[in-house]
Amino acid sequence: MQRAKKKYMEFKALNIAEFLHGTIEGDENVSVNNVSKIEDGKPGTLAFLSNPKYERYIYETEASIVLVSNEFKPEQTVKATLIRVEDPYQAFASLLDLYEQGKQLKSGIEQPSFIDSSANLGENVYFGAFAYLGQNSSLGNNVNIYPQTFIGSGVIIGDNTTIYAGAKIYDGSVIGNNCIIHAGAVIGSDGFGFAPKPDGSYKKIPQVGNVILEDDVEVGANTTIDCSTMGSTIIRKGAKLDNLIQIAHNCEIGENTVIAALTGIAGSTKIGRNCMFGGHIGVAGHLTIGDNVKVGAMSGVSNNIKSGKTVLGVPAMDHEQALKSFVVFRRLPEMRDQLIDLQKEVTELKLNKQ
């Protein structure tokens, strides 16, 4: 069975160049109705070349239009029509954004669904079937709530926010404007707080705080953000969280910080602005990580990190030191054999002296 392909609206090169303020090289009337990777481009599609290591594909791609940078200088003949722009990747993203805006949006209240009589709905709200909105909660204008979403009591959701199917928003959560919460995400679940008792069992510590997502935050599918024990767990403006991330109680994620999948942030850790975290990172609790920090994938962060640092490894260390350590690590089997040989030589020298 063939897979269905996502279809885009049809545009001519001339229209695309005008929208992007780009320059055309080739047929300005050629049209496209879909997008493709440059390495497997097909007729009628648009691709882009941003990374120089993919340049070889532009000479053989079947894509009808390719976005390239103003500085690109082809070394061979290119069959496709080129549109030169300042930043091909950003231009491509702008085109996809234009397509998304052009799609017909859902609207209205689907049934069956439940909206408490005390809840407040803004204008142009879409509320999907089997979704739930609790007491004294508020939805802003142009909010989209997809089916089977749970929104508890006292929740505030700002304008132009979209919450996809199956997300769970616990009581008291505050979500800003222009946010996106993907399917299966959980916002406001209990923090992991348990006090040990003399008999070896644990007493649950009530988690009475909430979660605040500021404007322009995106939360990936099946990501969980725990509420604070007291006060708020805060995701600052413009932060982007990938799928399958755990943010524990009382954490704070700074503005425009991006975190890739399978990362876990333990309780009460504060992460600064404009940080970049790779996938599968573990961060211990009660740490302070400065602004503009980069953490390599599969690192283990157990100490505070100053602003501007790049770290990786387990435990995470300065990236230059880590790279040197990795070189030594790869040589350990060889060094072990050398050590064994050296021990034999020392033993023989001792025996000869006797």
Distance CA 21, CA 234 (A): 38
Q: Token digits for 302?
A: 């157990």
For strands 180-181 and 202-204, give the pairing.
Answer: unpaired
Quote the tokens at residue 325. 């350590």
Q: Check residue 309 and give left, alpha or beta (phi > 0: left; psi -120 to 50: alpha).
A: beta
Pure H helices in the chain: 13-20, 55-58, 88-102, 319-330, 332-353
Active site residue 182: no
Q: Name the catalytic one among 249, 280, 286, 319.
A: 249
Alpha-carbon radius of gyration of the chain: 27
Amino acid at 146: Y
C-alpha 258/C-alpha 299 separation (Å) is 15
Residue type, 317: M
In angstroms, the CA 161 to CA 283 distance is 29
- At position 262, the amino acid (one-letter code) is L
Distance of CA 209 to the CA centre of its chain: 25
Report the DSSP pairing between strands 45-48 and 282-283.
unpaired
Nearest partner of 230 among 216, 203, 214, 211, judged by Cα = 211
Contact 73, 58 (CB under 8 A): no
Active-site positions read 249
